[in-house]
Amino acid sequence: MFKYSDSNKRYHTLDYFYRHKFNSKVFKISLNAGFSCPNIDGKVGTKGCIYCSSLGSGEYAGDVNENLVTQFNNIKEMMHKKWPEGKYIGYFQAHTNTYAPTNILKQKYEIILNQENVIGLSIATRCDTISNECLDYLTELNKKTYLTIELGLQTINEKTSILINRCHTLKCFEDMVKKLRNRNINVVVHIINGLPYETKEMMLETVKYLNTLDITGIKIHMLHILKNTALEKLYYKKPFHILTKEEYVDIVCDQLELLRPEIVINRITGDPKVDDLVEPNWLIKKFGVLNDIDKELVRRDSYQGKALE
């Protein structure tokens, strides 16, 4: 059995990590705090990343027209219907959640921390929007609660990064990972498989690179094309290969084998809203993808980190 598993999973799942750290079921409550993004408002760019919808990757976050407490309670109630007991992590998901003056960040974060049974925060952001003042505040926050900073990287390939309009460098990303980890702040990195014109080898190189950094977790996404995005326009203008489910499963299993076992797999597939999805349609059946990853690891007699042994 894989070291960090008490089920059929052969990789280090977030559910396993939370249950063993907090001795409880833990839920992430996705929130939309109304932040913008420097890649939208003109600070570094104006068009945003080409795959982002108008919701800034916050399709499952709360309604921005509602205050944060209302968002939190609405989503919590939905969770309670399935799991009556549990603890909560406030997940600031939509857009760039450190992109504001520190006093504003403090107000929004601590409103959620004051809610009952909230044990931590997970903050999705960009590496180029954490100022020194913000970093100092996050350091203090990390002493009071379980804090995770989620950084979008997506790929280490410079040409792809330019194509998807990330508008920050790999060095900026790496420097911020080091700054956060030097302060003992958890770092989860987002990557995307299937980005336009990338090969399997390029996707594996991204994971090999991340495995050399002191990250605590990773989110692996399958590229999905959403309606009314720049990516949709590119797909129709200059078509690129969309990974099949079989290709995606094969790549993910190879990536898992390359990752240190202690790195927590926070996500292992995409989760688009059906009404907004252009491609790939196979991604709609999320649990089918998860099951196929499990089956492939069994077929290989493999697990997370095996290639490192």
Beta-sheet strands, E only, within the chain = 26-31, 87-92, 118-125, 146-154, 186-193, 217-222, 225-226, 264-267, 277-279
What does the pLDDT look like over 129-166, one tens digit per residue? Answer: 999 999 999 999 999 999 999 999 999 999 999 999 88
Q: Quote the CA–CA distance of 234 and 135 in Å, as a whole number.
A: 37
Mean pLDDT, rounded, for 250-276: 94
Burial class (CB in 10 A: 0-12, 13-18, 19+), 67: middle
CATH number of the domain bearing residue 156: 3.20.20.70
Mean pLDDT for all residues in the chain: 93
Residue 2 domain-assigned (yes or no): no
Q: Is the pLDDT of residue 255 over 80?
A: yes
What is the pLDDT at residue 227? 92
How far is the C-alpha of 210 from the C-alpha of 264, rounded, in Å? 13
Least confident of 54-68, 70-84, 285-299: 54-68
- Can you give the pLDDT at residue 38? 85
Please report the pLDDT score of residue 56 as a whole number. Answer: 45
CA distance 274 to 42: 31
In contact, 149 and 138? CB cutoff 8 Å: yes
pLDDT, position 57: 53
In a domain, 289, yes or no: yes
What is the reported pLDDT for 231? 94
Identify the pLDDT of residue 289: 96
Q: Is residue 87, in this structure, part of any structural domain at all?
A: yes
Question: Residues near 13 by Cβ (< 8 Å), separated by ≥ 6?
Answer: 4, 5, 264, 265
In a domain, 309, yes or no: no
The pLDDT value given to residue 58: 45
Q: Residue 20 has which token pair? A: 């063993």
Please say if the pLDDT value at position 9 is more than 80. yes
Instruction: Give the model's pLDDT for residue 94.
Output: 86
As for how many domains the chain has, the answer is 1
Closest CA to 56 of 73, 68, 38: 38
Tell me which of 295 and 79 has the higher pLDDT.
295
- pLDDT by residue (tens digit) across 50-72? 888 755 454 556 678 899 999 99
Task: Tell me if 187 is assigned to some domain.
Answer: yes
Q: Tell me which residue range forms the domain holding 211.
A: 14-304
Of the given ranges (172-176, 177-181, 272-276), which has the lowest mean pLDDT? 272-276
- Give the model's pLDDT for residue 65: 86
What gap in Å lies between CA 190 and CA 204, rounded to an integer? 14
Please check whether residue 222 is in contact with residue 248, taking contact to mean a CB–CB distance below 8 angstroms. yes
The four Cα atoms 126, 104, 93, 111 give a dihedral, to 10 degrees, of 150
pLDDT at residue number 273: 84
Residue 3 lies in a domain: no
C-alpha 12/C-alpha 221 separation (Å) is: 16
Domain assignment present for 101? yes
Instruction: Indicate the SS3 state at residue 56.
Output: coil
Predicted confidence at residue 299, as pLDDT, reads: 98
Is residue 6 in some structural domain?
no
Residue pair 243/199 in contact (Cβ under 8 Å)? The answer is no
Q: How confident is the model at residue 48 (pLDDT cuts 50, 70, 90)?
A: confident
Torsion, CA 180, CA 185, CA 186, CA 192, rounded to 10: -30
The predicted pLDDT at position 64 comes to: 80
